[in-house]
Structure formats: C-alpha cells, structure tokens
Amino acid sequence: MEAIFDDIASALREPRQDVWRPVRAFALDMAAKLFLGIAIGLGVGFGMALAG
C-alpha cells in the first residue's frame, strides 16, 4: 500500500512536459544565425574598407 502512495507522489513531482521547447529552440537558432550573419557581414565590410 505504501508503494502505491510513493508512486503517486513521484508521479505528481514529475516535471510537466514543456510544449514551448521546440519554439524556443527554433527562436534561439534563428537569433544565433542572425547574430552570426551580422558579425560576418561587419567583419567582411571592415576588412574591405581597410583593404581599400
């Protein structure tokens, strides 16, 4: 009987499934790509400006 209550208690303590995880992962991926693109663009731009 005690094992049943332990199972119920552990089931209630389980974290709920995060439905926003794929959306957050996609948004973080897109933000990283945007930041990397801007950094590369600025680097190429400064490099071309310095080269003349």
User: Residues 19-32: pLDDT tens digits?
Assistant: 888 999 999 999 99
Locate the domains of the chain by residue range.
22-52
Q: Can you list the residues of the chain whose pLDDT is less than 70?
A: 1-2, 14-16
* DSSP code at position 20: T
Confidence (pLDDT) at 35: 97
Q: How far apart are CA 20 and CA 49, in angstroms?
A: 43
Confidence (pLDDT) at 18: 77
Helices (H), 1-52: 2-13, 21-51
Confidence (pLDDT) at 1: 61
Confidence (pLDDT) at 13: 75
Confidence (pLDDT) at 45: 96
